[in-house]
Amino acid sequence: MVTFPQGGVVRYMKKAGNNRPTIIDVAGIAGVSKSTVARALSGASNINNETREKVVKAAQSIGYERNHLAQSLRSGRSGMYGLVVPDIANPFWAEVARGAQDKAAQKDASLLVFSSDWNPAREASHLRALRQARVDGAIVNPVEDNTDDLARFGMPVVLIGSSAERFPELSSVGSDIAQGVRMGLNHLNSLGHMQPAIISGPAGRLAHVRFMRVVHDYFLEHNTDPATLLVEGGEYTVQSGQDAMHRILKKKGDGKVCVFAANDLMALGAMLATREAGLKCPQDVSILGFDGIPAGVFSDPGLSTVAKPARGIGDRAMELLSDQVDGRVSHEKIILPCEMITRGSLADMVKSSNGQLMATG
């Protein structure tokens, strides 16, 4: 039974065997035609507010939901977008997904999220699934150089992540890695950590190349041979950071150690290895991460990090993709700046040195 503001009452009886209310049921309750219901629920402007309110109330009263598949066949739009990221278990990519999802929700759209797990075959399978789902477009962090699947996608695509620069013909949103790495190295320098050890990512990925290229150029500019740096590779996981840190401690021996990790998960792994070795952070080992994932707030001590704008990347990518779908923007490259977040994982060697000089002077 439905009661309308004017005081009218309409009884709705579900037909036997009919589990889902239809547009005909809504029209009958609201006392209007099917076309009026369709226009009212689609947000059409050529319908008065009183009628729209009556239709919406009728639809809500019986739990009617619009058939989005039928709507997409009529309009050519599904109201769905896709997102393919390398590792949804990594909090950084989860934050990217959250940014994209929030922006999609503002546009009354849905987001289908897939994780490729850095596997090109799995990524290709996800792209095929998105094509079959007739999404309006997709945001993708490609895991290899092959553009075949992206070129055959047949709909708007926006790329994210370091790999985007391999596809100059496609729109992209990313963070300013060069600016972020230099920011981190400058901060370490200001604290007296002149030659940090580096825990880098996998050598075959562009993110590793870009990170290490900046490190190389930075130390050349500061009259330090980059070949003298201690560099250990990792896989952007906590375990790989933990293993890399154990190798660094074994090679470094006694003395203060500083580490700059290419992502926060590896930095947190390095912190675990420090404790396992019976050392303390930052008294014995200083650690700087890169990404800005929320977990860094809860580590002990808190992880200092160069934060990439994860949610901002998802938000801007979805905005750019929506503009492409609507024909407003055809091609754009967006680079967002990183931010330095200081917590407790870095010792101030300059301050300590000055304090010792004052004590002995």
DSSP notation for 5-20 = TTS-EE---PPTT--S
Contact 303, 131 (CB under 8 A): no
Domain boundaries, the chain: 2-66, 79-176+311-337, 177-308+341-348
pTM of the model: 0.76
Instruction: Tell me what the pLDDT averaged over the chain comes to.
Output: 85
pLDDT tops 70 at residue 45: no
- Read off the pLDDT band of 19 (50, 70, 90): low
The tens digit of pLDDT for each residue in 307-345 reads 999 999 999 999 999 998 888 876 789 999 999 999 999
Q: Which CATH number is 2-66 given?
A: 1.10.260.40
> Cα–Cα distance between 10 and 277 in angstroms, integer?
75
Least confident of 3-7, 44-48, 127-131, 320-324: 3-7
pLDDT tops 90 at residue 244: yes
The tens digit of pLDDT for each residue in 112-152 reads 999 999 888 898 889 888 888 889 999 999 887 555 555 55
**3-state helix/strand/coil string of 37-91:** HHHHHHCCCCCCHHHHHHHHHHHHHHCCCCCHHHHHHHHCCCCEEEEEECCCCCH
pLDDT in the model for residue 12? 53
pLDDT in the model for residue 290? 97
Query: Rounded to 5 degrees, what are φ and ψ at 308?
Result: -85, 145
Establish whether the linkage from the previous residue to 282 is cis, with ω within 30° of 0: yes
pLDDT in the model for residue 65? 67
Rg (CA), the chain: 27
Compute the average pLDDT of residues 191-215: 92
Compute the average pLDDT of residues 236-249: 96
Architecture, CATH, for domain 79-176+311-337 = 3-Layer(aba) Sandwich (3.40)
Contact 346, 270 (CB under 8 A): no
Class of domain 177-308+341-348: alpha beta
- For residue 152, the tally of other CB atoms under 10 A from its CB is 11
Contact 54, 37 (CB under 8 A): no
> Cα–Cα distance between 241 and 303 in angstroms, integer?
14
- Read off the pLDDT band of 262 (50, 70, 90): very high
> Cα–Cα distance between 98 and 159 in angstroms, integer?
16
pLDDT tops 60 at residue 173: yes
Q: Do domains 2-66 and 177-308+341-348 have the same CATH topology?
A: no
